[in-house]
Structure 1
Amino acid sequence: MKAYVSIDLEGLPGIASTTMTTPDKTQFSIAVKVITRISEFVAKRLLDLGFTEVYLADSHGLMTNIDYAAVPDGVYLVQGYPRPYSMLTMLDGSFSATMFIGYHSAAGTTRGFLDHTMSGRVFYEVYVNGVKASEFLINSLYAREKGVPVILVAGDAHLRSEVETYSTNIVFVELKKGLSRYAAVYPSLSRVLEELDKGLRTAVDRLKSKHEFKLFLQPPYTLAVKFRDNLVADVAEMTGAERLDAYTIKKTFGSASEMLGFIEVLAYLGLGVEYLKSSIK
């Protein structure tokens, strides 16, 4: 069996400030220790639970947060940005299961710690078939299309309701709870690892027992994206998307891969517009 683990940062314990989220920030070294320790633990436990290979997808920011020197034997580390399909690069039907660790709540979630969807700098809110969508939901639709069940999600407590509302049998493990956009509470790391261990064992047991991991959203997918900057919407409209208002566009897709690819293009487009505005002197 092969396992695919996509690990983000904002939903991890020990992360409570933007001073920890990018390499140029003063406390980024703390985040590297946390994400590396949790990645190493999850990978080793999955190997113990019967997986023969584990792929760790470093899925935050520039996607070079995990210390490669700590990667155990039998584990492959996927790093670097940009890359195809972002947080799920290389995911295909050869994998038996995928897990999302350190995931955060959707953009627009009250008290969600650093809540955003795909690109907080570009997108204000993202909806799929009328549902406010997180990275969990969008990535899960893509994984299902590849024939790989999502069996576990671990992260901010504010993500739990979305997981339980739009899926069945996915194990949710709370790693932290957002108190505001810039504050969170979490137990000791040893307690977090204990809860992760329980969650992993339950999820793998369900997988081996042939539980069906269902998602309730079905194609076609109507994507509505509200941008932070209406100039990005001006440019994005040229893709053929329908303009709903000054900040929002809409487009319908027959597949999750098409939708995820389009979201990624919009994120790059938004960053390009931001750079263009800053370069006009």
Structure 2
Amino acid sequence: MISADMEGVSGIVHPSETNPGGYDYERGRALMTAEVNAAVAGVLEAVPGAEVLVADAHGPFRNLLPEELDRRARLVRGKPRPLGMLAGLDDDTDAVLFVGYHARSGSGPAVLAHTISDAVLDVRLDGRPVGEIGLNAALAGFHSAPVVLISGDDAACAELLELVPGAATVAVKQALGQAASIALHPDEARDRLHRVAAKAIRRHDQVPLMIVPGPLKVEVDLYGPYTVDLATLIPGVSRAPGARTVSFTAQDVAEAYRLVQLLTQLAQIKPS
């Protein structure tokens, strides 16, 4: 499985390049699709008969250009959907690759760092802060699938290595700040991604799983007080000390992941 985000793609540094309708968003979509194709090619070079599932995992989950995607891959597109950024993942998945990923909220310097959306300030699993990289790596581990590769800026690569030692990394840009980087030429980024993806798949059985045992306490810091009010209507979710924090106990990572997704969607509701 390839889970594809957009902020970590080479050449992308600004929200206007990642948000539909923004300046250069269409170029961003093309850059994203090309990097995913490089990863697909690398996987299939290593295992020609592999079944490759690509999950469009940025924003509206409708960014990759279907007609430009490598025809040997299948595309997961649209939302809402089970397992969010890893929709399609199951216990038969041999390996997961994160393409175009970004560092978590509060990281820096890191290009377009955030956690899920601007409505979420932080997520903690048993007190450990995690962003999209950590949440998705933990969910992959729950399904016995190692995260064997990440591409993105240097901060995103370092974040995964702290959680999954032995994963391969492709730093397509060096972060200078939230909206600035020194980036590889897109062709060079794709060449490296192709090569490293092939190597990563060949040694996927040597990469450890990220295992987060349950039950676990989950804390989510939300930007909007109104969202906190809505969150407390969910059975088992309570307001923690601090006006913006809610907490709950999940039986396992899969349950925690689903509830975090729901809290993020609640943040889209505004007072009537």
> Shorter-chain TM-score category?
over 0.9
Q: Residues 212 and 42 (structure 1 numbering): CA distance in 2 closer, same or farther, change over 3 Å?
A: closer
Identity of aligned residues (%): 25
Task: Give the match for residue 124 of structure 2.
Answer: 127
Which secondary structure does the structure 2 equivalent of 1:29 belong to? helix
Which secondary structure does the structure 1 equivalent of 2:267 belong to? helix
Deviations along 1:208-251, one digit per CA (max 9) or x if unpaired, are: xx314232643333211111111211221222323222000111
Is contact 1:22–1:28 with CA below 8 Å preserved after alignment? Answer: yes
Task: Give the match for residue 235 of structure 1.
Answer: 230
Report the Cα offset of residue 103 of structure 1.
0.7
Distance in 2 (CA, whole Å) between partners of 1:212 and 1:66 is: 28
Which secondary structure does the structure 2 equivalent of 1:168 belong to? coil
Which secondary structure does the structure 1 equivalent of 2:232 belong to? helix
Give the letter aligned to residue 101 of structure 2: Y
Task: Give the match for residue 65 of structure 1.
Answer: 63
Distance in 2 (CA, whole Å) between partners of 1:193 and 1:15 is: 14
Give the letter aligned to residue 143 of structure 2: K
Is contact 2:145–2:209 with CA below 8 Å preserved after alignment? Answer: no
Distance in 2 (CA, whole Å) between partners of 1:163 and 1:95 is: 19
Is contact 1:236–1:249 with CA below 8 Å preserved after alignment? Answer: yes
TM-score, with length taken from structure 1: 0.90
Report the Cα offset of residue 12 of structure 1.
0.9
Is contact 2:91–2:144 with CA below 8 Å preserved after alignment? Answer: yes
Distance in 1 (CA, whole Å) between partners of 2:110 and 2:152 is: 11
Give the letter aligned to residue 124 of structure 1: L
Deviations along 1:74-112, one digit per CA (max 9) or x if unpaired, are: 210111122111111111122211111111001111222
Distance in 2 (CA, whole Å) between partners of 1:148 and 1:59 is: 18
Query: Structure 1 residue 213 and structure 2 residue 188: aligned?
Result: no
Distance in 1 (CA, whole Å) between partners of 2:209 and 2:70 is: 31
Task: Give the match for residue 108 of structure 2.
Answer: 110
Is contact 1:155–1:176 with CA below 8 Å preserved after alignment? Answer: yes
TM-score, with length taken from structure 2: 0.93
Q: Residues 43 and 198 (structure 1 numbering): CA distance in 2 closer, same or farther, change over 3 Å?
A: closer
Deviations along 1:113-160, one digit per CA (max 9) or x if unpaired, are: 11111122x111111121210111111111111122211111121123
List alignment gaps of at least 5 residues for structure 1. Answer: none
Q: How does 1:193-204 map to 2 (within 5 A)?
A: 193-204=190-201
Task: Give the match for residue 94 of structure 1.
Answer: 92
Q: How does 1:174-189 map to 2 (within 5 A)?
A: 174-189=171-186
Task: Give the match for residue 254 of structure 2.
Answer: 257
Give the letter aligned to residue 160 of structure 2: V
Give the letter aligned to residue 175 of structure 1: V
List alignment gaps of at least 5 residues for structure 2. Answer: none
Give the letter aligned to residue 68 of structure 1: P
Give the letter aligned to residue 153 of structure 2: D
Q: Residues 93 and 216 (structure 1 numbering): CA distance in 2 closer, same or farther, change over 3 Å?
A: closer
Is contact 1:15–1:31 with CA below 8 Å preserved after alignment? Answer: yes
Aligned CA-pair RMSD: 1.6
Q: How many residues align?
A: 269
Task: Give the match for residue 17 of structure 1.
Answer: 14
Equivalent residue in structure 2 for 1:224, among 215, 219, 225: 219
Is contact 1:107–1:126 with CA below 8 Å preserved after alignment? Answer: no
Which secondary structure does the structure 2 equivalent of 1:92 belong to? coil
